[in-house]
Amino acid sequence: MNLTAESFLGALRAFQFDAEFADMSLSEVGKPRDPLYRLARSSGTWERRTAITATFWLIRQGEIDDALSIAELLLEDDEDLIHKSVGTALREVGKIDQDRLVGFLREHAVPRVTLRHATEKLPRAQAGLNSSMSSPRSS
C-alpha cells in the first residue's frame, strides 16, 4: 500500500474519529452508530478499518451486535489490513460470547486471515473451524 498525502490525511481523520469514538463516556453508550456504518461503506481503506476498530470499545462494553454487523459488511473487502482488523474484532467478540462468534463463523464465508485471527483464542475443539469454512481468496 503506497502512502500518499491523501491516504495519510485519511489515516489522520480515521485516527481522530477512533479517538473520539473510544473516548465516549458510559452515558453515551446509546449514541447512534450510523457514522460507523458510513465508514464501513467508505471507499477509503483507513475509514473502513476505523469502522471495525471503533467497535472494540463497544465490544468491551458487552455490545457485540454492531461489531458483528460491521464485520459482516467488511468480509468481502479487498484489503488484507481490513481482514486482520475484522479477525481481531471477532476474536474480541468471542471473549464476550463464544457461541455468537462460532455461529457467525459457521454462517459466513470468512477469509482465511480473518478466521486465523478470530479463532486464535478459542479452545482447540472450537478452533476446529478450519479453512474449509473460509473463502479461498485470502491467504
The answer to whether the pTM exceeds 0.95 is no
Q: What are the two backbone dihedrals, phi and then psi, of residue 110, each rounded to the nearest 5 degrees?
A: -110, 130
Q: What is the pLDDT of residue 132?
A: 46
Q: What is the pLDDT of residue 35?
A: 87
Q: Give alpha helix (H) positions in 1-139.
A: 5-22, 34-40, 45-53, 55-60, 65-74, 80-96, 98-107, 112-119, 124-127
Q: What is the pLDDT of residue 5?
A: 56
Q: pLDDT by residue for the chain (139 residues), tens digit each?
A: 444 556 555 655 555 555 455 444 333 456 778 888 999 999 999 999 999 999 998 999 899 999 999 999 999 999 999 999 999 999 999 999 999 999 999 999 999 999 999 999 888 656 555 544 555 444 4
Q: What is the pLDDT of residue 23?
A: 45
Number of structural domains, the chain? Answer: 1
Please report, for the domain that includes residue 10, its CATH number: 1.25.10.90
Q: What is the pLDDT of residue 10?
A: 60
Query: What is the Cα gyration radius of the chain?
Result: 15
Q: What is the pLDDT of residue 14?
A: 58
Determine the Cα–Cα distance for residues 62 and 49; give it in Å rounded to an integer. 21
**Can you give the residue range of the structural domain that contains 61?**
5-24+31-135
